[in-house]
Structure 1
Amino acid sequence: MTENTHPEPAAIPENAERTEPAAIPENAERTETRSLRERLGPPGTVAEPRHPDVEVWRPATVDDIDAMMDLAGAADRVDHPTWLTPRDEFEELFELSHIDPARDTRLGFHTDGSLVAMAGILAHPSQDEHVYAYCTGRVHPQWRRRGIGREVVRWEYQTAQTAIAETDAAATELPGAIYLYAHEPDVGARALGEQLGMVEERWFTTMLRDLSQPIPDVEIDLPIVPFTLELSESTRLARNDAFRDHWGSLETPAERWERMVTGTHFRVDLSRVVLDGDRVVAFALASVNEDDWEVQGYSSAYIEYIGVTRDHRGRRLAPAVMTASLRAIRDAGLDKANLDVDTESPTGATSLYTNLGFEATDREVAMVARF
């Protein structure tokens, strides 16, 4: 989930208890030999968010999911009005083993008991090559431009630093990074990221395909079959191999993958894979959130993952498996398919999707601080 806050540009308070190191550009040559923990500084106590309009800040609990959904729905309709955050993304905060809600979340309540802001981080569980954490908070549209978002981002950034510093991997020289995703028009969130030393490193485009238009047939010499749960682990391994050379991508661990493919919105019947023997070598995996249809004005499926293992590239497997999934989505009676793509994908994905009839709609930027 690419969630972000939308506050007005403002400086980080001078009395913040931690000092943020400057971001290191991705293309900078690294000569650093200190451990990641030494570069970050020791784990510290992060000051709780503070704002005169917010009476209580506390960690989220399972009982807060409905209120969090209400706030997310209000924010989504302003920030990206063609899709809504699924409930699964809040439920997993209390179900995945690598998330600690007491450490990783804060909810801000007004004196009348209404939820006005959510602050959160997600520390990625894969830490073999990089140590990443993501800022995931947001502010209710009615409470923006008051400085609440500034506190949300400040708390998230410092909590992410602490979470990274507390990992076992922080004792090594591995690189670390904090990510903040912001939609292109959201100049407030982007300004706050810049004030923290974050750099706009990468852009992602949402693309939409009208399924009433003809879908081409792409012939390949390997079988394309529907995804099944029996193929789940082979597909996970294929996903991790296919995305190993993609910007910002880390391996998806078994726990998180299992939750996705058995989740409420994942559609086994709309997903397709290519087999070489009993091994999955290409995939197009789809989900459907029917709540999106109301705000979109049409029915749709979202292509979660499209990829080809590196040893099978150059054989037209990507367009073949993609068109197979598109036909399944069309035959299920849905109007459109959408996806998100890295504009600088090393596999030329943007050109692939354009050639298959997808059209760009909006963009999102990834802001990064590297350590």
Structure 2
Amino acid sequence: MELVWRALTTADTPAVAALHHAAETVDDTGELLSEEDFAASFAEADLAGGSLAVLVDDALVAYGLVVPRENPVGTHRVRLDGTVHPDFRRHGIGRELMGRLVALARELHTARHPDMPLVAKTMVESRSAGHVALAEALGFSADRHFYELEVALGESLAQAPIPPACEIVPFSAAHDEEVRLVCNAAFAEHWDSVARSPQEWAASFTNSKRFVPQTSFLALHDGAVIGFVLSRHYPVVEETTGVRELWIGDVGTLREHRGRGVASALLSRTLARAKAQGYQRAALSVDAVNPTRALGVYERAGFRVTRTWIDYGLPVGSSSSPA
């Protein structure tokens, strides 16, 4: 089997989406992405210097993407994404793909943050035995676990009280920059969190087709933002599963206002609005050892753990590579 290796281009978007769908049909990780989703991420990526396409007889059989951080602090953790088509697994393609992605990550890192330590990371769904085995065989270690949680919106939802001197209001563009700054402050002590620049914020929220401001809420104290719930909707989930799902992307409260029920009040109103808008389920992801004890907040709101993702990391020196 002769493999052809080259960088991805935007013309590969349909093939990448089809490959991802074929892999997801087998792997069942819950990571459902459309061609439009890949097009959006490729528009932000350095495809020429940070991607790989693997072809057999001109057909895409594997792909990889290197995703550096814009504003790393302390350590530059570069994410490696990708997959191998199920029909072409067990041929060593995944192992070589990861090795080449690590090398690309080193090159991008050296050009952007040469004085900072580099860690190559890859997210693995805990039940994906082959992916787990590959990461560990290449020397990656499990650095962190993240829970994916869901709550059905069919039954009555408890309405958490609004804390005194606090106001819950729908998200509005007038607060956009303030919310970005509050979000950066709220997540400042979280593991592997970096401040979002105005450009990253716009890509994730303001200019994103997936952001749903009408199902996002802010908590105000004396007119200032102190907490937020920011939601997204991925149509491909409904198209694939038949379930209309609201993805709660970010939930946060400023440190000085925690412990008062701000997040619970925000969540309950978000879920109520989602139910009224026809959503059947809400889902989110949380660090298993979140320092703000967010897991308890979500469980009290009715969320239950459905999946576990593992953040695998590999320290990369100037000349090191996976075994």
Give me the TM-score of the superposition, normalised by structure 2: 0.91
Aligned to 2:215, the other structure's residue is in SS state strand
Cα distance, 1:255 vs structure 2:
1.0
After superposition, residues 1-371 of structure 1 pair within 5 angstroms as 52-54=1-3, 56-80=4-28, 82-96=30-44, 99-111=45-57, 113-167=58-112, 169-171=113-115, 174-218=116-160, 219-221=162-164, 222-261=166-205, 262-370=207-315
Secondary structure class of the residue paired with 1:78: helix
* CA deviation after TM superposition for structure 1 residue 182, in Å: 0.6
User: 1:24 corresponds to which residue?
Assistant: none
* Greater per-residue helix proportion: 2
Change in CA separation of 1:142 and 1:251 when aligned onto 2, cut-off 3 Å: same
Range with greater deviation from structure 2 (81-90 or 151-160): 81-90
Letter in 2 for 1:104: G
Instruction: Give the corresponding residue for 2:321.
Output: none
Q: CA deviation at 1:93?
A: 4.2
- Report Cα offsets for 1:93-151 as digits up to 9, x if no partner: 4433xx3211101111111x221100111011113443221111111122112211111
SS of equivalent to 1:284 = strand
SS in 2 for 1:266: coil
Distance apart, 1:156 and its partner CA: 1.0
Alignment check: 8 A CA contact 2:29 2:125 kept:
no
TM-score (norm 1): 0.80
Percent of aligned positions with the same letter in both sequences? 27
1:71 match: secondary structure = helix
Length, aligned pairs only: 313
Name the aligned partner's letter for residue 78 of structure 1: V
Unaligned stretches of 5+ in structure 2? 317-323
Q: Aligned partners of 1:352, 1:53: CA distance in 2, in Å? A: 52
Equivalents in 1 of 2:315, 2:256: separation in Å?
31
Partner Cα distance (1:349, 1:53) in 2:
49
Aligned-pair distance for 1:68? 1.2
Structure 1: stretches of 5+ with no match in the other structure? 1-51
Looking at structure 2, the residues matched to 264 and 176 of structure 1 have their Cα atoms a distance apart, in angstroms, of 32
The alignment yields a C-alpha RMSD, in angstroms, of 1.8
Per-residue deviation, residues 46-65 of structure 1 (Å, max 9, x unmatched): xxxxxx342x2211112111
Counterpart amino acid of residue 238 in structure 1: V
Distance 1:227 1:119, change over 3 A: same
Q: Residues of 2 paired with 1:223 and 1:100: CA distance?
A: 42
Change (3 A) 1:79 1:249: farther
- The one-letter code matched in structure 1 to 2:136 is E
**SS of equivalent to 2:48:** helix
The amino acid across from 2:228 in the alignment is F
CA distance 1:79–1:237, shift in 2 (3 Å): farther
Q: What amino acid is the match of 2:68?
A: A
Task: Give the C-alpha shift of residue 311 in structure 1.
Answer: 2.3
What are the superposed Cα offsets for residues 69-94 of structure 1, whole Å, 9 maximum, x if unpaired? 11112122222354411445422444
**Letter matched to residue 56 of structure 2:** H
C-alpha distance in 1, partners of 2:234/2:299?
A: 24
**Paired AA for residue 330 in structure 1:** K
